[in-house]
Every structure is written in structure tokens, then in C-alpha cells.
Structure 1
Amino acid sequence: MSTNTELKQRRLAAAPRGVGVMCEFHAAQADNALITDVEGNQYIDFAAGIAVLNTGHRHPRIVAAVQEQLTHFTHTAYQIVPYESAISLAERINALSPIDGPAKTAFFTTGVEAVENAVKIARFATGRSGVIAFQGAFHGRTLMGLTLTGKVLPYKAGFGAMVPDVYHVPFPAKDVTVEDSLAAIHMLFKTDVAPQRVAAIILEPVQGEGGFNPVPTALFEGLRKICDEHGILLIADEVQTGFARTGKLFAMEHHTVKADLITMAKSLGGGMPISGVVGRAAVMDAPNPGGLGGTYAANPLAVAAAHAVLDVIEGEKLCARAVELGDRLQTRLKAIQQKDAGISDVRGLGSMVAVEFHNATTGAPDAARVNAIVQAALAKGLLLLTCGLYGNVIRFLHPLTIEDAQFDKALDLIEAAIAG
């Protein structure tokens, strides 16, 4: 088998630099929360494929479900020849989703496809084109996804003009209050776009790339009021927050109001590519037949995996497990914070936890220290990810199925890496 160095050289020669790669090692095997590289080195995985593996690598029930489906068929194109498993998955999602009244679900392949289609559905249902998003948001890398995303580097830079009729307002974090965010929307209605031209407001219940910032319930309540007053649809982007990560199946369950449309992907498939949009039935039914879909949408192997994921979340009580692990992680991080003036914040919802670093003297965001901590952890066998507008936040995305002993070891590695 090739070495990591050999594979890196081949990768650099064969693949474009625009596909940024974080790690210098290459996976050969992965089991639950452990990755083994081609040279036999092992890493505790606190990235989980960027929140794809809430159920861990190769969960036996998911593997078995995919293997069983392989004995029947791998593809028909659901919009050509449909099948019962996709119908029953939609029925399960409809019943589980925090949507008011009857719901319907459409499946796609990637998270950004779900976002794109949610916008399409909202535009068709309302007959309007405008969309409001938030600064610091991440909604994907296609053109509409990029436009909705509120972060220039590395996502928007150099890709030219974005999609028209998309507007960004401040997100309530740091010195921005909920009142500031809502006032910005009202000002937008006076200065840039009439509310009668706005189809939707979209936001993540917990900002991902923006820094793992949970949305205050008061903001959702204010947005719901604005949307109801002006006939605007509220879209919750749950691509990263969904499927037990925050301690609820959907993060919107933490709030008093409901969205009209919810996007989902990542951990729905347990490592298989599947995404979807669930929403109020009347809204979902708005587009004409053929207006939604995709060649690989509702792929039967991914659908089989998604059924197994829902079974595992329920059977292994992963929502409660997310709360337990998140509490343990935050307790350790807050204890470290008492001794480390460079830690400016520890925050999170369930097992969607982050720690933020600033220079203790100047107060400036300390991305350099964050990078050093991530590299130190990696050298000790722990894979971590960063986020935040300034790159000064470490986010934790451990599988919710991680064994207790391995989780405790990871906490020790985190403390050692922060200590330097």
C-alpha cells in the first residue's frame, strides 16, 4: 500500500488545489470514532466527516441496511421508477419534523441541493424572488449556496457576481443583539427590497462555519412574526444541526416557533449521500411536476442507510447521548477556561460545541493559536476542525456513538493541546 507521502504527491498531481485538503494522512479504515491511515496510525475523529457521522463510521446497522439493498437494486431514478423505501422514508421524516400541519418531503443528494431546492420551492410558492440570509452563514458552494453564504474567504473570493436579489443582515453574536438583527431586516425593507418581493428568510439554527453560534429563540420568534406579517417563508437550514447533533432530532425543536421549510443532509445518510427538504404540504406542492428532482435523488442505497440512521438514533437514544457528551465536553472546556485567559467563550447546544480564542492582551481573534492547537491535537492522534469568521474557533463534532473511554481520552488530548 502507498505511504501518506506518496499519496499526497499523487493527489497534488491529479486533483485541483481548489479542493482544499486539511490532513496530510489518508484513510484506510474507519470504525465508529476511530480512523486508521494507510501507515497504521490512528486518530480519534472529532470531525465526523463534517457532521456526517453522528452514528459513527460504519455503524453495523447502517452497513447491513446498505448490503441488504444491494441485493435488490442500486438505482432506477426515483422520478422514473419509484420505490417503497423512499416513500416510507418521506413518511417518517414528515411525522418527525417540527412543521405545522401536514408535511411533505423531497429528497436530493447533497446539502446544497437541499438549500437550492428550498429556495426554488419558496420562490414558486410565493411568486417572489428575494431571499434574506445572515452574515456568517454557510449554505454551500453552488452559485446560490455561495450567494447565501455570508463569508467571503475561502468561499466567494474570485467567483464573480453572485445571484441577484439576495440580501444579508447581521447575525446576533458578539456585539450584535437580536434587536439589531431584526431592526436590520426592517431597515432592509425601507432601503433595499420591499417585503412583498421577499420569498424567504433562511438561517441555520446554529451557525456552522460562522462559529457554532446558536440562534436565540427571540430571533426565531421575531423572524416568525415578520414572515407571518408579510407572507414570507421561513427556512431553517438544518444540514449540519440535524439528526440528534444538538440533543434533538432537529434543532428547531429547541424553539417555540416552527419553520415553513427545513433542509437536511449530512448525518441523515450516516455516510451515504442523501439530502432533503421537508415543509408544509401546501408549500411543497407548489412547484410543477418535474420542477424538483435529480438523477441520484433518493438513491436507494442512501435511503436504506437513512432508515437505519433513524432506527439507531431512536434505539440508542442518541439525542440524550448528545446532551450528555456535550455537557461533559463543556464542563471540561470551562474548567480549562478558568486557567486560560485566551479562551473567550465556550458555547454549544447538545454536542454541537465550540471554544473561541482571543489574544489575552489585545482581545483580537487568535487564529494562530487555534491552528497551533489543532496541529498539536493531530500530532497526538485527535482530529479537530476550526470555524468562525476569523478562524479562531475550534468546533467539536464527535460521533454520538463514541465509546466513553475514547471520549475521555479525547478530552485529555484536547486539554493537553490547549496547554501547549
Structure 2
Amino acid sequence: MSVNQGENSKDLKIEGLQSSFSKNLIERDAKSFYHQSLSSPVFNTISKAEGAYLYDGDGKKYLDFHGNGVHTVGYNNPKVIEAISNQIINKLSFSPRRFTNEPAVALAEKLVAISPKEFTRVLFCPGGSEAIEMAVMLAKHHTKKWKTLSYYGTFHGAGFQAISIGADAHFKEGLGPVMPGAIHLELPDYYRNPWGFKETKKIDDEYLRQLKIQITNNSEIAALISEPIFYNSTVPSKYYWQQVKELCTKNNILLIFDEIYTAFGRTGKMFASEHFVTPDILVIGKGFGGGIVPFAGILGTEALNNINHKSIGHYTHEKNPLCSAVSKAVIDFVIDENLLKKTAELGAYFKSELQKLQEQFTCVGNVTGLGLNLAVDIVKNKVTKERDFKKAHELMNFCLKNGISFKLIQGNILNLKPSLIITKDEVEFFLKTLKKGLLSL
């Protein structure tokens, strides 16, 4: 996922939200933490997170369409809390390396059972950045090659190898040389493709031509890493990913899909890749930890189980029983509550209603996404498609003041990723609020 470039601007201000209590806490925050872009300054305080909502220090609630992707089954989901409580009661909250435990093995078995048949094995780790590192190291060891292919502007984690793969200048500038061999491609863009093409296949073929050039001129590529649905909610065609997979297989390049944001139902299927092709390695995280514990991992094929002479996931919490119990509860909840079907249906309705706003308002240039993974592109002009950062910021501010939280992607795209437990009434509330915001511009 790309850095939130719009929120990095110095002129972005979210005002009129805090009481004196909250302002005091924000000031204490500013004095206590190292300041870093995208985290400082903070907008507001949080006193509680429950269900699909955040509550600030004054008790005001916000329907959360961001959640850093961890709120897949809602904040403080009762089933997840129950799993944690049982694990603590059973006095098994940690497992040292070279020991195993029932929750970790049960989670591994569950993941294999719900995933495409090609996946037979897993590894766990504390967070998504580490999971990306594991996936890439596995690919390099397996292929005996060392270069990577990925896309400009994307974000795959904060580790040194991950930021090299992600190619987001925000995270790389000032560090000097990073990981060598990281080759980058243009991210397919169907809305603003530089050639002005309208036909999807024609657009795909041009981006595929660039991929073929890189593969032809670089014989040591171990892996291609990408989100199956891009960070700005652009949905590539199935044809595109089929051609990519074919090229990778032909050239002994492993295809790695970063599903840290999209796994466990967000697109209406358990994994977003199920809409396209099965990768060689699939990376999971964020919602995997139920919004309570940090946990992530990889799924891969049996052919990759040939590196027992190396360590690619040497983490203290690689088989943490508490985290494992939480993650299994997340998967069970998604299945038991039939969230895949619900997300597909509600997401389709949500998108169709956003498209009605697109027809009504000249500043709504594009609506894209799948399931409850949607985006609204705010523009100055539908012909030129010039990004309107000012209006996008104004809309975000308006919605925050009216009880809705989301973030901006690329400075002008409303990034809409609510909890999968969101109701149709809550979607309607968002639509009405957004429409009021658009009318106020």
C-alpha cells in the first residue's frame, strides 16, 4: 500500500474536533514521541474502539473506514476476546522456539484448509513487514536468484528490504543505498494511463510489454511482488494477472501477492487473489490479528519446502499461541457469520451508490474497488482528471466532523475500507454524509 501522500502535506489541518482534555493529551503526545511524518501531528484521541467504530476522548464516535486494515471483524470482537481469555485462562500465552503448541498448529491447518489447494505450508511472524521479508527471502533461496520486480509508489512494509521493494520515495530518501537488485515497473493505471487508451486489454498489453522488457534484460529475478488489488483500490483485469503469472512461471520467477490488507474477506472472497490467479506465496497480516495483537505470515506451495538449512523467519513470536488463538478466531468468525457473501453483496451495493454520486458531481472522477475495498477519486475536471487535493482534504475534514473517519491515498483519493461487520444502514449513513460534504464544496 502506498504512503498517504496527501496527508503528508504541511497545510493539512483537522480542526474543531478536540475538547480541552483531548488537546492536552495531544500536546503530551507531541512531547513524548519522536515526530515522524504520517504519524505526527495526530488528529484526535481515542478512548475506545468497538465494532465498526472509534470513540474519541470526549466520547464522540466515528464510523471507521480506515482502521489501518486491522478491523476486519470489528474492534474488540466478542469471539476474539473469548479466544484471548480462554488462552490466558489455560496459561499458554507463549511458546519458546523449538517447541510447538496446539493453537499454532491448529491455525496453520486452518489456513491451509481455507486457502487455494496449491498452498500447503505456512510461517508466522509479528507483522506484515516481517512477512514480506520472509516471502522474499524464501523466493531468493528457492530460485537461487537475488533480484526483485515490484511497482513504483507502492508500500510493502517498513523493513529495509521491504522499503526497497516498495519504491516509495518517502521511505527511501535520505537512507543512502538500500537493497540492490530491486527493479520497478509502472503500476497499471486504467483511469489515468499515459497513452489515453480506453480498451482494458490494450492498457494491459502495454504494461505487460514493460514487464517483458525487464525480464528479458534481467536474468536473476527471483520474485515479482505486488498486491493483487492495488493500494488505490484499482482492480487489474484477470487477463493481466494471468499473463503475469505465465511470464513468471516460464522464467522461474515466484509470484508473491501481498494480501496484508485484503485477506480474510475484504473483497468478497477469503483472499483477493481468488479473483485472479494463485500466487506462489501469499502474505497476510493486519486483520489476521483481530485488531488486538500484531500477527502476520505467509502461505506457500509444497515445492518451496526445501530450505531447512536456512532461517527466514527466526522470530521470537513465530508460533505464539495467544496470537494464533486470536487469528483462528478471526477466520472462524468470517466463516461462521458468512462475511464473504455479505461483503460481496454489500460492497456491490455500496459501489453502485458511489457511482451514482459520480454521475451527479463533477468532482467525483472515478469509483473503483471490489467488495468493501473501495475508492473515490476527487478531481478538478473529469476531462483532464487533474487531482483535487484541496477538495479531498475538505471532504475528509467534513466527514470527520460528522462522525466518519477515512484516509486519503495519493492526496485526493478517498480510501474506503470499513470493518466487514458494517451494516447497510451504516453504509447509508456514510453515503448521506459524503453527499452533504460534496454539496458543501
When normalised by structure 2's length, the TM-score is 0.88
* Partner residue, 1:372: 394
* 8 Å CA contact retained: 1:322, 1:400: yes
2:420 is the counterpart of 1:394: no
Give the aligned residue type for 2:241: F
2:124 is the counterpart of 1:103: no
SS at match of 1:73: coil
SS at match of 1:359: coil
* Partner residue, 1:381: 403
Query: How many pairs does the alignment contain?
Result: 409
Match among 210, 216, 232 for residue 184 of structure 1: 210
* 8 Å CA contact retained: 1:109, 1:298: no
Q: 1:162 to 1:419 in 2, by over 3 A?
A: farther
Give the aligned residue type for 2:299: V
Q: 1:398 to 1:164 in 2, by over 3 A?
A: same
Tell me the distance in 2 between the aligned counterparts of 1:146 and 1:325.
34
1:44-98: CA deviations, max 9, x gaps? Answer: 1111x22111101111101110111111335434523210110111111112222
1:12-91 to structure 2, matched below 5 A, reads 12-18=30-36, 20-21=38-39, 23-47=42-66, 49-73=67-91, 75-91=93-109
Give the aligned residue type for 1:412: K
Tell me the distance in 1 between the aligned counterparts of 2:384 and 2:244.
35
1:271-282 to structure 2, matched below 5 A, reads 271=291, 272-282=293-303
CA drift at 1:304: 0.9
2:237 is the counterpart of 1:216: yes
* 8 Å CA contact retained: 2:146, 2:221: yes
Give the aligned residue type for 2:301: R
1:106-125 to structure 2, matched below 5 A, reads 106-125=123-142
* Partner residue, 1:175: 193
Give the aligned residue type for 2:98: I
* Partner residue, 2:376: 355
1:274-300: CA deviations, max 9, x gaps? Answer: 101000022144252544230122322
SS at match of 2:360: coil
SS at match of 1:332: helix
SS at match of 1:206: coil
Tell me the distance in 2 between the aligned counterparts of 1:87 and 1:78.
14
* Partner residue, 2:7: none
1:166-225: CA deviations, max 9, x gaps? Answer: 10011211316221222112212344x22xx111111101112xx111222112111111
SS at match of 1:199: strand
SS at match of 2:212: helix
* Partner residue, 1:202: 225
Give the aligned residue type for 1:245: R
Give the aligned residue type for 2:174: G
2:439 is the counterpart of 1:419: yes
* 8 Å CA contact retained: 1:263, 1:277: yes
SS at match of 1:119: helix
Report percent identity of matched pairs. Answer: 26
* 8 Å CA contact retained: 1:172, 1:180: no
* 8 Å CA contact retained: 1:32, 1:57: yes
* Partner residue, 2:179: 163
Q: 1:419 to 1:158 in 2, by over 3 A?
A: farther
Tell me the distance in 1 between the aligned counterparts of 2:113 and 2:362.
46
When normalised by structure 1's length, the TM-score is 0.93
* Partner residue, 2:9: none
Q: 1:97 to 1:219 in 2, by over 3 A?
A: same
> Structure 2: which 5+ residue stretches go unaligned?
1-18, 195-202
Give the aligned residue type for 1:32: G
* 8 Å CA contact retained: 2:70, 2:287: yes
1:233-382 to structure 2, matched below 5 A, reads 233-255=254-276, 257-271=277-291, 272-288=293-309, 290-360=311-381, 362-382=384-404
CA drift at 1:400: 1.0
2:164 is the counterpart of 1:142: no
* 8 Å CA contact retained: 1:43, 1:383: yes
* 8 Å CA contact retained: 1:274, 1:299: no
Tell me the distance in 2 between the aligned counterparts of 1:380 and 1:230.
52
* 8 Å CA contact retained: 1:137, 1:151: yes
* 8 Å CA contact retained: 1:85, 1:303: yes
* 8 Å CA contact retained: 2:100, 2:319: no
Give the aligned residue type for 1:131: T
Tell me the distance in 2 between the aligned counterparts of 1:225 and 1:189.
12
Match among 241, 249, 257 for residue 228 of structure 1: 249
* 8 Å CA contact retained: 1:31, 1:58: yes
* 8 Å CA contact retained: 2:87, 2:93: no
Tell me the distance in 2 between the aligned counterparts of 1:212 and 1:347.
6
* 8 Å CA contact retained: 1:98, 1:252: no
Tell me the distance in 1 between the aligned counterparts of 2:315 and 2:409.
31
* 8 Å CA contact retained: 1:76, 1:82: no
Tell me the distance in 2 between the aligned counterparts of 1:363 and 1:183.
25
1:138-190: CA deviations, max 9, x gaps? Answer: 2111111111113223x223232221011001121131622122211221234
Q: 1:357 to 1:386 in 2, by over 3 A?
A: same
> Structure 1: which 5+ residue stretches go unaligned?
none
Tell me the distance in 2 between the aligned counterparts of 1:279 and 1:190.
26
Tell me the distance in 1 between the aligned counterparts of 2:429 and 2:387.
28
